Each structure stands twice: as structure tokens, then as C-alpha cells.
Chains A and B, each alone.
Chain A
Amino acid sequence: MMIIILLIGASLVVSSGFLLAFIWAVKTGQYDDRYTPSVRMLLDDTENTIDSK
């Protein structure tokens, strides 16, 4: 039965890792702006786009 205790311990460690990742994400403001990044990644980085009009 020791193996179960070991597995439970391991699962708690892994899930705590995800919890800590979540806490880090909230604290560093990853959820503060849920819109702008979706637009930003569509914008080109090229500085010298020639005006097509």
C-alpha cells in the first residue's frame, strides 16, 4: 500500500505545481488584459510597410 501513498504524494506535488503556476499568472497580471494581446499578435512587426493606397 506504500505505493499509493507515494502516488498521492506525487500527484499533490504535480497539482501544486499547476496551482503555483496559476497564482504566478494572476499575480503578474496575465489575466488583466484579455483582449489586446489577441489583436497585437495579428499586427505586423515590419516597420516599413509601404502604403498600398
Chain B
Amino acid sequence: MSGVNPTYADNTSQGISSDPVREIELICDHCGLECRDDSHTLGEKVFCCAGCKKVYELLHANEMCAYYNLTDQPGVTPFADDSGLKYGYLDDPEIQKQLLEFSDGDISKITFTIPSMHCAACIWLLEKLGSLNAAISHSRVNFLQKELTVTFNHNDLSLRQLVALTASLGYEPDIKLEDINRTKRSNDHKRLYLQIGIAGFVFGNIMLLSFPEYLARGGDIVDPGLRLIFTWISLVLSLPAVFYSGLDYLIGAWKGLANRVINLDVPIALGILSLFGRSVYEVSVGVGTGYFDSLSGLIFLLLIGKIFQAKTYDTLSFERDYSSYFPIAIIRKDDDGEKSVPVVSLKPGDRIVVRNQELIPADSILMEGAGGIDYSFVTGESQPVAKECGDVVYAGGRQIGKVIELEVIEEVSRSYLTRLWNQDSSSGDEESGTADLANSISKYFVAAVLLIAVVAFGWHAFSDVALAFQVFTAVLIVACPCALALATPFTLGTAMRIMGKHNFYLKNAGVIERMSRVNHIIFDKTGTLTNSHNVDISWQGDALADRDIVLIKSLIRHSTHPLSMKLFDHLPPIRSLQVDNFNEVAGKGVEGYIDGMFIRVGSSEYICPGNAADHIDETSGIYIEIDGAVRGLFSVQATLRPGVTSLLQKLQNKFKLSLISGDTSQDKALLTPSFSDNSTMLFNQQPIDKMNYVNLQRENDDRVLMVGDGLNDAGALKASDVGIALTGDVTSFSPACDALMDADSLSMLDRFLNFSKTSMKIIIAGFILSFLYNIAGLSFAVAGKLSPLVCAILMPLSSITVVAFSSLMTRTQARLKGFKP
């Protein structure tokens, strides 16, 4: 602020006398954000903050400005943090041990998640960390996972210094409590890739070996000796396909039967085993060549379907719990002074220090300082709550204002927020997706197939027992629900990708099926229907002079209160003036002298404590007082997100709607027109109330879809059949949910629901198609005419038809419904 250069002073005076509204847009040369003013410059370059300037200087000094040539303004605004305490906990050997992937005393290796990584220049800079510090021998980025892996010399560079270095560049690693408890990430995909690779290898080779058999068709073209060798090679090759690639189906079926459930794996395993058993029998007795080609082809196709459905969004997390929300460490104050300690080690009675914008990790009592606690993540209420000494402060709030000191009264794992979260987990067991359509059909499918097989066996058994056994196994083989098992993954996988293109990310494909059955939609208000970042600010009072706006804006520039920041962005751009004797009362208001004039900006009780009652009915308002005279207020009204009104109108006809809000009913008027009379609107709901409401609706046999955004909705989101978390930035924090939706896509919710229903219809059509093939195959089988050739043609043909049908139909339907396929 003090680095005032001559031109700046000139501009300031001109700016006020002529036009406070700035004509030129100042864009930060580092990060591309609009600069509030031009107080940070270096030569011709302008920066939005001291942090950006520092990064530029650092890169310049190390001759690494190529960074800026890769993309326009690639930088990330670094967080200003001048106290060395923030990462102090990283010096703790116990924490280090848990974070480091590898360490032998000298060389250590660690992987960070860096959410702010966003472009090619980020990759370039982060992989060049070694040029900034010689102790870093190797750094590697995985851009899709937003991970940075660094190998460094532990003796020359401590973990804390390493983190501080990346943070100073604007790439602050996201080190959370969950990292400490993290078990090493298992990579399921690797196993699936291997299974597919091996099944494909086996399939291809056996096909080649079977070719002579297809061409011979019972003739004597093939030398009997060769035929024997070929079939034995096929038998050996099929072993890894069945017992490695197909193992999951056998295990799945076994587990299902052990739990007395007939899942889709049961008929598949039945098919695989009867194919394999019959083939081994034929080869070993010497009566035939077996069905090894169909067997390996079947396993290969099934696995392809599996990987198609297993599409996951690597960078998104649907399973976040409190540990991913809380920081890893907090500053504890004891007799020796202040020390950064892991939050898990906090005990009741500990004194902790929480600074501006920091989270309160445990339920505690405010001991010193004025608290302005922003519970927006917990309750959805956007206004900070003022707390005084002696008040109890619950974990999860964010301190806005000065430093406060607290005494911990509960351990982190037992705080109000954590308990709320743990309660949720009890209702989550049904989410395993066992109730999906294909699984429920497979029960009848297995029964029908077994019935046909037994009847066919009995029919032939009177005449020819050998033929009867053949027919029995042939029925089991041909009825293997390969096509049935492929219809679901290819339809849902395609639908999931299409939704993902419209910024609606599902946790897994099973969510679509649950979405298609929803009949009751519950909305949270704050942050979901209303947009807390986009408020409607209007001035009430005598018109303000341009000069007044400059004064107000110069003052609130220094405030960290969310309302001040919104007002700051609302007011036209200016060149700021120097503020003297600045004072902020946390959660209430700010005051200070500018050019000898005394300006106060704040809440009604702060500005005019005497007649606060006059304005009590006002919504959030920012009062302005200049030199002792109250000039009026900026009233702040929440606005609905674009498209919400028409969305609610459309949903009205098909679904029951409810609104449950943690807020007061002040915005009721805004929403009432959009909700019909038979919709429920509840206000002042605690997080636990929301969850109970959802549970109540589900007990009434409603299938509930909940749309929410904050931690306060976490319980309700988990309790509902489908919980959709709405977020402005899908990679940032969001509560545990079934699907993440970009806030801008909310207006398309009705179309997503509609599309999910269509997808289910496509699956059913796919089932019918596969049944037709099954009937054709069964007619061969029952007649005892299922030759390996018929089998080898029929099974892949049915699978490919179903796959093509499912994918194409889903795409066509998506296009018809106006989605980009």
C-alpha cells in the first residue's frame, strides 16, 4: 500500500476531479485477474497484488519468464502469508513420515495435490522447480489428477520449505487431514487393463486356432493329429482367461450366492463354467473341439463393457468427509509460545490461535478477541455470526476478522460437525447399487434358464442320455446373459459421458437408474436456488456523489467481510485513497479517516445503534456514515440463479417439490411464486432437521432427490436416494454426494432427469433384443444342434448388436433432447 510512485499520486487526483470511473482495464500480468488499482507495478507490468509481483520477480531472477510465453497470464494468485507458522506442522517427523511416499534420510519423495494447476504453463513451471532450488532433483506433474510428485534432498530442503516454495508461486498444495489417514491409493484400472489385455490375447489366438475347424465343418480337411494339438493349445490358453480375467465374475457370483442373492454375476458365472466344463470334457474325452473361442470372446467382451462403465472422474471426489475439509494443523499456544500442531492431537483444554480466514477445527470457547464466524459451509447462512468472549464456537466455522484465541472443549473427532457426518454413514449402505435393474432381472433369468435346461434334459434323457447332457450344457452356454450384461454398461456409460459434457458428474453409472425413479425433489435455498456470490445491491438514500463512492470504496477495500467484498465489486472501479486510523470491528463494520473525513461503513447496529429497531426488518444492509451523517444504506438482496424460475415451473408438474433452508424466511417472497401451493417450504432448518425431513419422505415411499451445496446439506444429501451437490468449481470442496453439478447447469436438471428415464427405457429395449437372440440360440440348443461354430457366431453377434444398439440409441436420444452427444 505504501509503495506509491509519482504517477500514482497524479492519477489519483485527476481520477477524482474528473471521473472516478476508470476508463482502462488493468489486467494483472501474472494471473490475468482485474487489478483493483495500479499499486503493484514493475516497469510496464501491472500486478493485482504483492504476491503476483513476487512470483514474477522470482521467475525473472531465475530467467524463467518463458512461463509467460506459454499462455496469456498463466499465473495463480498466491495467498499472502507472511508468518512462517502456517506450515510449521510439516516439521513434525510423525506427520512427515505419513506424508512422504519414500525417504531414506537424504532423498525423499512426496506427492501433493495442487488444485490451482490449470494450464500448460503450470506444468512447465512445476516441472522446473529444480531450477529454483538445487535440492529438488526431480518434479513431475500428473495434470489430470492435479498431482505433483517431487523428489528432493531432505537435508538441504525441508518439507516445510518445499511446500512454502510451491505455495509462494501460487501453487499451494492441498494437504488435508485425509492425506494423513490415507491408505495407499489402489489402482483398480491397472488390474482391469491387465485382465482385458490377457483376455484379448487369448481370444485372438484361440480364434486363429479354431479357424481350420470352422472351415472344415465336419469334413476331413484337418489332420486329426493337428486338430488334437490345436484344441489342447486352446485349452491351455483359455486357463488364464477363465481364472484370471474372468475371476471377478466367479467371485462375484460366489459372494452373491453366499449372501443368498442372485446377482447378474450368477448367470454369467454359470455360462462361463458350463462353457469351460463342457469344452474340457469334450477335449479330454476326444469327442469334440470345445467352445474355447466363444468362451474367451465372451470374457473379453464382458470386460470391455466393464471398463466402459467404470469411467470415473479422477480429479473429483464424491467421498469427502470432515477430514478433507479441516486443515491438517493449527497453532497451539502454550507456555513455550506458539507452535503449529496437528489438529488430531488437540485435546480439551488446549489454547488455539485462529487467524483471519482460518477454520476452527474443534468445538471450543472463545477466550480472546472478537469472533466473526462465517458458518456458510456448515449452515448455508452467508452472514458471519458475531461471537464474544465466553461464547461456544462450533467447529467448521471460518473466522473473519482479527486473530482470536480459543480453548478447545471437544476433540476434533467428537465435534458437532464430525458427529453430524458420522451419523450419515449409517444410511449409506444401500448405495452399493445391488438393487439395479439388471440384477433384479437376473433372478428370473437364472430360474428360467435352469427350467428350460432341466426340461430339455428330461425330454432327451428318455432317448439318449449323452445327448441330454449335451443339450443341458448347451442351454446354459447359449443363455449366458452376455448381451444382458452389456446393455446396462454401454447405455449408462454413454449417458454418463454425455451428462459429464454438460458439467454434471455422476459418481457411478448406478446413479442414473436411481435418478430415473425419483418422484420428490428437495432443494436447499442458500447457494443452491439463490446465488450467494451474485447479489443484488441497491442504494437506498440520497444519491451519492462520485467523491463519496471513492471514499467508501477506499475504506472497504481493507475489509475482509464478504459483504464488503461484494459491495467493493459492485461499486465502479476507482483509484484508491490512503486510509488512516483504519479499524475493523469483526462482523460489524469498518471505519477510518480519508483526507481528514471520518467514514464508517457497517451494519445498522454498528452505524446507528440507537434506532436499530427502525431498520430491523431490512434485509442485509450496509449502512454508510460520512463525517457523522448517516447517508443511507446499500441493501443486499439474494438473487435466484438464472433459469431457476423456469426450472421449478417445469418440475412442478412431474415431481413433488420441497424447499428446506437453513436461512430465515426473509427470501420467502422471492421463491413463493416458483413453488406451487402443495410444495413444502421450510425455513430455519438445522442440518439434522434437513436430514430427518429427507428420511421422513423416504419412509413415506418417496424417492428423493436432494440438491444442496454446503456442509449443512451433507446429511440430507447422503440420506436421499440421489444427492446432488451443486458447486461453482467442481474441483473445490463439496460434501459427500452421488453427483456433482456445476451451478450453471442447474437449469438443465429437468432435462437430466428426463434423459435418465430415457436411458432406462433404452436398457430395457436392449434386454428385449438380447432375449430375442437368446431364444434363437435356445432353439438350437434344445434341439441339440449347438455346434461350436453356431455358438461362435451367435454369441459375439448378439453382444455386438446390443452394444451398438445401446450406444447409438443413447446418443440419438441425447441429440434429440438437445444435449451435445
Contacts and interface: CB of A to CB of B under 8 A. Distances in A.
Interface of A: 1, 4-5, 8, 11-12, 15-16, 18-19, 22-23, 26-27, 31-36, 39-40, 42-44, 46-53
B120 A42 contact: yes
Interface in B24-71: 29, 60, 63-66, 68-70
Given A8-B230, A51-B69, A53-B29, 11 more contacts: A5-B226, A11-B208, A15-B201, A19-B197, A19-B201, A22-B197, A27-B194, A32-B187, A36-B141, A51-B65, A53-B68
Given A12-B205, A39-B120, A51 B68 contact: yes
A32 B229 CA distance: 40
26 contacts: A1-B225, A1-B226, A4-B226, A5-B229, A8-B209, A8-B229, A12-B233, A15-B201, A16-B201, A19-B198, A19-B201, A26-B193, A32-B187, A33-B143, A34-B144, A35-B144, A36-B123, A36-B142, A42-B120, A43-B70, A43-B123, A47-B63, A49-B65, A49-B69, A50-B65, A51-B60
Nearest to A40: B123
Contacts of A35: 143-144
Given A27-B190, A33-B142, A33-B144, A49 B120 contact: no
Contacts of A11: 205, 208
A26 B190 contact: yes
Contacts of A15: 201, 204-205
A48 B142 CA distance: 25
Contacts of B194: 23, 26-27
A52 B124 contact: no
Contacts of B64: 47
Nearest 8 A/B pairs, CB to CB: A49-B66, A51-B65, A36-B143, A33-B142, A19-B201, A22-B197, A43-B124, A26-B193
A46 B534 CA distance: 44
Interface in B401-421: none
B145 interface: yes
Contacts of B198: 19, 23
A38 to B, nearest CB: 9
Main secondary structure of the interface of B (DSSP, over half): helix
Contacts of A53: 29, 68-69
Contacts of B13: none
A48 B225 contact: no
B617 interface: no
B143 A31 contact: no
Nearest to A23: B194
B646 to A, nearest CB: 37
Contacts of A40: 123, 127
Interface string B63-83: 111101110000000000000
A18 B69 CA distance: 42
A10 to B, nearest CB: 13
B200 to A, nearest CB: 9
A11 B70 CA distance: 48
A22 to B, nearest CB: 5
B197 to A, nearest CB: 5
A26 B142 contact: no
Contacts of B65: 49-51
Contacts of B127: 40, 43
B201 A8 contact: no
Contacts of B63: 47-48
Contacts of A49: 65-66, 69
Q: How large is the interface on B (under 10, 10 to 19, 20 to 34, 35 or more residues)?
A: 35 or more
Contacts of B223: 1
Contacts of B201: 15-16, 18-19, 22
B754 interface: no
B131 interface: yes
B66 A51 contact: yes
A52 B120 contact: no
Interface string B778-815: 00000000000000000000000000000000000000
A22 B225 CA distance: 33
Interface in B128-171: 131, 141-145
Contacts of B131: 47
A36 B144 contact: yes
Nearest to B29: A53
Contacts of A32: 142, 187
A26 B29 CA distance: 42
A36 B226 CA distance: 50
Nearest to B198: A19
Nearest to B121: A43
Contacts of A23: 194, 197-198
Given A12-B205, A15-B201, A26-B194, A33 B145 contact: yes
B233 A8 contact: yes
User: Quick one: which of A34, A43, A50 has the most chain B CB within 10 A?
Assistant: A43
Given A15-B205, A33-B145, A48-B63, A43 B120 contact: yes
A53 to B, nearest CB: 6
A27 B154 CA distance: 28
A37 B473 CA distance: 50
B73 to A, nearest CB: 10
Nearest to B190: A26
Contacts of A33: 142-145
B790 to A, nearest CB: 25
Contacts of B187: 32
Contacts of B29: 53
Contacts of B69: 49, 51-53
B423 to A, nearest CB: 37
Interface in B752-783: none
Nearest to B123: A39
A33 B230 CA distance: 40
Contacts of B66: 44, 46, 49, 51
Nearest to B66: A49
A44 B187 CA distance: 32
Contacts of A19: 197-198, 201
Contacts of B190: 26-27, 31
A4 B233 CA distance: 13
Interface string B177-204: 0000000000101100110011001001
Nearest to A50: B65
User: Quick one: which of A36, A50, A52 has the most chain B CB within 10 A?
Assistant: A36
Contacts of B204: 15
User: Quick one: which of B66, B70, B197, B230 has the most chain A CB within 10 A?
Assistant: B66
A51 B761 CA distance: 58
A11 B361 CA distance: 64
Nearest to B60: A51
A31 B617 CA distance: 61
A13 B223 CA distance: 23
A14 to B, nearest CB: 11
Interface in B80-123: 120, 123
B215 to A, nearest CB: 14
B263 to A, nearest CB: 28
Nearest to B62: A47
Contacts of A27: 190, 194
A32 to B, nearest CB: 7
Contacts of A51: 60, 65-66, 68-69
